[in-house]
Amino acid sequence: MKEYDILKQFDIAGEPAACKQLTCGNINRTFRIDLRQADGSITRCILQNVNVNVFKKPYELMQNICGVCAHLKEKVAAAGGDPLRETMTFADTADHTHLYLDEEGFYWRVYTFIEANSYQSADKPGLFYKAAKAFGKFQRQLADYPAETLYETIPGFHNTVSRFAAFQQAIADCKLPERLKEASAEIDAILSRESLAHVAVDAIADGSMPLRVTHNDTKLNNILMDPETDEGLCVIDLDTVMPGSVLYDFGDAIRFGASTAAEDEPDVSKIALDLDKFAEFAEGFLAGTDGALTEKELSLLPEGAMLLTYEQAMRFLTDYLNGDTYFKINYPEHNIVRTRAQLALLFDMEAKRDGMHEIINKQK
Ligand code: ADP
Ligand code: GN1
Ligand code: MG
């Protein structure tokens, strides 16, 4: 099997015995491999094919991740935790880059599999609070990380102003007229909300809101939860750790986890913002960040939720108009279905904006 041959390039003990693809991510190709050890026991690792269409400089990407993981390991060890379960651990390669380039031009990495729960929805009572606390703690653990050493793995990743320009360009350059027509209502909804795109970018630019080292992709399935207690165990998918705003981490987690339906739910009547889930996440996130957020950041958290939902709608629709070159899709209409779901959520957030602010005002 090709995956087994690739595994041989990494410094990892055991003989591969089983391989299963894990399909919940939208970007990389991820496999869980069972490894039989000399004593007969089975251990596991993750083999992942890095998507270089998205991450154009994989060596810089790995330098970022290894630096961040080393920093997190020190913090975890100092707190008496287990760095092998609470942070990602990458297997080495002969050239010590932690990356193997195969003859077909694919880049691979291998890291320790962590036995844990990985959730697609926050339905379980208390789960979203625990995830929020862990994402908030992650942010705090990186507060003293030297941000200037981080490469921008995707330039302008959450620069919604430049994303808006890319969206306009996708409309102008679109080679799929039937898609343009089909999406006209969604295009109008996005174009008419341009001012929202400025919420974080402008506040960072005028110095009223700090840049921090943020995760930038805080979907619930990017955190592993302890199998016994469901406490946040390990934040994963560190490809987008870069300087950013706390609004991005808060907002993206709300977008994904405080919705009453999946991010690609085709029946938009099922989609709403669950204010109880919003409150639950906010409480956990404030506990995790432990007083680190400024007054301005706190006051903009609801706008962060709207911003990230708006940006995601824009990104899915840009990809649809560009012919589905970025996100993995399961069927041809997937990106327009995702766009509609994100817009339905955004509209409900707009209606519940005062409610979100009341919750934050009570908690801060
Ligand atoms: P993508 O960038 O495509 O989202 P991820 O790195 O998030 O890929 O991995 C996809 C999924 O694989 C995760 O959501 C998680 O369920 C599982 N996974 C990834 N890394 C680990 C790990 N170290 N231990 C256990 N499960 C993992
Ligand atoms: C991608 O890799 P994954 O599935 O965790 C994307 C996020 C989107 C998300 C939408 C690098 O996240 O930005 O919010 O899909 N990651 C990248 O589900 O673009
Ligand atoms: Mg992921």
Q: Are strands 223-225 and 100-101 parallel, antiparallel or unpaired?
A: unpaired
* Ligand positioned closest to the Cα atom of 233: 1
At residue 27, the pLDDT reads: 96
Structure tokens at 31: 């496999």
Provide the 8-state DSSP code for 92. P
At residue 209, the pLDDT reads: 98
Give burial (CB, 10 Å; 0-12/13-18/19+) of 15.
exposed
Fold designation for 2-112: Phosphorylase Kinase; domain 1 (3.30.200)
At residue 43, the pLDDT reads: 97
Relative to the CA of 26, which ligand 2 atom is closest? 4
Residue 271 Cα, ligand 1 centroid: separation in angstroms?
26
Q: What are phi and psi of 26, to 5 degrees?
A: -100, 0
- Residue 208 to residue 197: CA distance in whole angstroms: 17
Relative to the CA of 51, which ligand 2 atom is closest? 11
List Cβ neighbours of 62 (8 Å cut-off, separation of 6 or more). Answer: 90, 97, 98, 99, 109
Give me the tens of pLDDT residue by residue for the chain, a chain 364 residues long.
788 999 999 999 999 999 999 998 999 999 999 999 999 999 999 999 999 999 999 999 999 999 999 999 999 999 999 999 999 999 999 999 999 999 999 999 999 999 999 999 999 999 999 999 999 999 999 999 999 999 999 999 999 999 999 999 999 999 999 999 999 999 999 999 999 999 999 999 999 999 999 999 999 999 999 999 999 999 999 999 999 999 999 999 999 999 999 999 999 999 999 999 999 999 999 999 999 999 999 999 999 999 999 999 999 999 999 999 999 999 999 999 999 999 999 999 999 999 999 999 999 8
Residue 13 Cα, ligand 2 centroid: separation in angstroms?
31
Is-contact 183 321, C-beta < 8 A? Answer: yes
At residue 163, the pLDDT reads: 98
At residue 123, the pLDDT reads: 95
Q: What are phi and psi of 57, to 5 degrees?
A: -120, 80
Residue 286 Cα, ligand 1 centroid: separation in angstroms?
25
Q: What is the largest CA-CA distance in the chain?
A: 63
CA atoms within 13 A on the CB side of 259: 30
Domain positions in the chain: 2-112, 127-363
Enumerate residues lining ligand 2, CB below 6 A: 25-27, 54, 217, 219, 222, 237, 239-240, 252, 263, 312
Ligand 1 pocket residue status of 89, Cβ below 6 Å: no
Residue 27 Cα, ligand 2 centroid: separation in angstroms?
6
Nearest CA to ligand 1 atom 21: 113
At residue 94, the pLDDT reads: 96
Residue 2 Cα, ligand 3 centroid: separation in angstroms?
23
In terms of pTM, does the model score above 0.95?
yes
Q: Which CATH class is domain 127-363?
A: alpha beta
